[in-house]
Structure 1
Amino acid sequence: MIATIVVAMTALTLAGFLLPALGYELLTRRDPVRAAFSAACVAAVLGLYGRLLWLNLMRRTAHGHRYGLAAIAVVCWALPALLGAGHGWGNALVVPTGLIAVVLPLRQAVGVTAAMTVLTPVYGVALGLPALSVLYEVSGIPLASFSGYAQVWFFHVVQELREARAELARSAVGEERLRFARDLHDVLGHSLQAVALRAEVAERYLERDPGRVRKELTEIQTMARDSVRDVREIVRGYRATSLRTELDGMSAVLRAAGIRCERPEIAPEPPAHAHEPLGWVAREAATNVLRHSSATWCLIEVRTDGALVRLEITNDGAARRAAGDAGSGLAGLAERIAAAGGEFAAGPVGDGTFRVAAAVPMERKT
Structure 2
Amino acid sequence: MQPRIPRPTVIAAITVTMTLVTMAGLLAPGFWAELFGRGDPARLALAGTLVGAVFALYGRMLWASLMRRSRPWHAAGLAVVTAGCWLLPALLRGDGGWGSALIAPAGLFAVVLPVRAATAVTTAATLLAPAYGLALGQPTPTVLYAAVAIPLTAFSGFVTVWFFHVVQELAEARAEMARSAVGEERLRFARDLHDVLGHSLQAVALRAEVAERFLDRDPGRVRKELAEIQTMARDAVRDVREVVRGHRRTSLRTELDGMSAVLRAAGIRCERPEVGAGLPAHVHEPLGWVARESATNVLRHSSATWCLITVWADDAQVWLEIVNDGAGRRAHGAGSGLSGLAERIAAARGEFLAGPVGDGTFRVAAAVPRGEP
Cα distance in 2 for partners of 1:75, 1:122 equals 18
Q: Is 1:17–1:88's contact at 8 Å kept on the other side of the alignment?
A: no
Where does residue 15 of structure 2 map in the other structure? 6
Match of residue 90 from structure 2 = 81
TM-score with structure 1 length normalisation?
0.58
Q: Output aligned runs, 1:235-250, within 5 Å.
A: 235-240=244-249
Go from structure 1 to structure 2 and tell me whether the alpha carbon gap of 1:64 and 1:199 turns closer, same or farther (over 3 Å shift): farther
- Alpha-carbon deviation of 1:198? 4.5
- 2:128 is aligned with 1:119: yes
1:58 matched to 2:67? yes
Aligned residues: 242
* Matching residue within 174, 187, 192 for 1:183: 192
**Cα–Cα, structure 1 residues 180 and 85, in superposed 2: closer, same or farther, change >3 Å?**
farther
Q: Does the 8 A contact of 1:17 with 1:92 survive in 2?
A: yes
1:130 corresponds, among 139, 160, 164, to 139
Contact 2:34 2:96 in 1 (8 A): no
Partner SS state of residue 233, structure 1: helix
Counterpart residue identity of residue 33, structure 2: Y
What is the match of residue 275 of structure 2? Answer: none
SS in 2 for 1:128: coil
Cα gap change, 1:219 to 1:126, in 2 (>3 Å):
same
Shift of 1:105: 0.6
Equivalent residue number for residue 100 of structure 2: 91
Residues 212 and 17 of structure 1, relative CA distance in 2, 3 Å threshold? same
For 2:190, give the aligned amino acid.
A
Structure 2 letter corresponding to 1:33 = A
Query: What's the CA shift for 1:2?
Result: 2.7
1:337 alignment partner in structure 2: none
- Kindly state the Cα deviation for residue 71 of structure 1 after the two structures are TM-superposed: 1.0
Q: Which amino acid aligns with 1:57?
A: L
Describe the shift of the 1:87–1:213 C-alpha distance in structure 2 as closer, same or farther (beyond 3 A).
same
Distance in 1 between residues matched to 2:83 and 2:209, nearest whole Å: 89
Q: Please report how far the alpha carbon of residue 94 of structure 1 lies from its aligned counterpart in structure 2 after TM superposition.
A: 0.9
Shift in Å, 1:5: 2.4
Question: 1:69·1:103 contact (CA, 8 Å) conserved in 2?
Answer: yes
Q: CA deviation at 1:208?
A: 9.1
How far 1:76 moved relative to its partner? 0.6
Q: Which amino acid aligns with 1:35?
A: L
Answer yes or no: is the 8 Å Cα contact 2:200–2:236 preserved in 1. yes
Which secondary structure does the structure 1 equivalent of 2:72 belong to? coil
- Return the match for 2:112 from 103, 106, 120: 103
Please identify the structure whose Cα radius of gyration is greater. Answer: 2
Of 147, 152, 164 in structure 2, the residue corresponding to residue 143 of structure 1 is 152
**What is the CA-CA distance between 1:68 and the residue it aligns to?**
1.2
> Which residue number corresponds to residue 268 of structure 1?
none
Structure 1 gaps, min length 5: 242-271, 273-366
2:153 is equivalent to residue 163 of structure 1: no
- Residue equivalent to 1:15: 24
Greater shift after overlay, 166-175 or 136-145?
166-175
Cα root mean square deviation, aligned: 2.9
Query: Shift of the alpha carbon at 1:169?
Result: 4.0
Pairwise CA distance, 1:125: 2.1
Alpha-carbon distance in structure 1 between the residues aligned to 2:216 and 2:41 = 111
Alignment of 1:1-366 (within 5 A): 1-199=10-208, 218-240=227-249
Amino acid paired to 2:151: P
Q: Cα offset for 1:199?
A: 5.0
Q: Aligned letter for 1:132?
A: P
> Match of 1:284?
none
Cα distance, 1:209 vs structure 2: 8.6
The letter of the residue matching 2:47 is S
Residue type matched to 1:122 in 2?
A
Deviations 1:17-45 (A, max 9, x none): 11232233334433333323322221221
Where do 5+ consecutive residues of structure 2 fail to align? Answer: 1-9, 251-280, 282-373
Q: Distance in 2 between matches of 1:203 and 1:33?
A: 108
2: CA distance, partners of 1:21 / 1:3: 28
Moved more, 137-146 or 67-76: 137-146
